[in-house]
Amino acid sequence: MGDPTANAGLAIEQSGVQTAEDGFPLAIYKTASIKNAEISLRLKADGGKSDQGGGVAVRLRSPQDYYLVQMDALRDEVLFSRVSDGASEEIVSVDADVASHSWHTLTVRARDDEFVVSLDGIWVFTGFDRTLSGAGKIALWTKGDSVTRFDQIEIAPLP
**pLDDT above 90 (res 139):** yes
pLDDT score of 17? 59
User: pLDDT tens-digit profile of 22-80?
Assistant: 568 898 998 889 999 999 999 999 988 888 999 999 999 999 999 999 999 999 999 99
Q: Give the confidence band of 158 by pLDDT, cuts at 50, 70, 90.
A: very high
pLDDT score of 145? 85
Identify whether the C-beta of residue 45 lies closer than 8 Å to the C-beta of residue 65. no
**pLDDT above 80 (res 15):** no
Per-residue pLDDT, averaged over 130-137, amounts to: 96
**pLDDT above 60 (res 141):** yes
Angle at 90 between CA 109 and CA 88, to 5 degrees: 105
User: What is the distance between the alpha carbons of residues 101 and 44, in angstroms, rounded to a whole number?
Assistant: 6
pLDDT score of 23? 64
pLDDT score of 18? 58
Q: Kind of pairing, strands 136-141 and 26-34?
A: antiparallel
pTM for the model: 0.92
User: pLDDT tens-digit profile of 96-116?
Assistant: 999 999 999 999 999 999 999
SS3 state at 1 = coil
Per-residue pLDDT, averaged over 126-152, amounts to: 94
Catalogue all structural domains in the chain, each as residue range(s) with its CATH number. 34-157 (2.60.120.560)
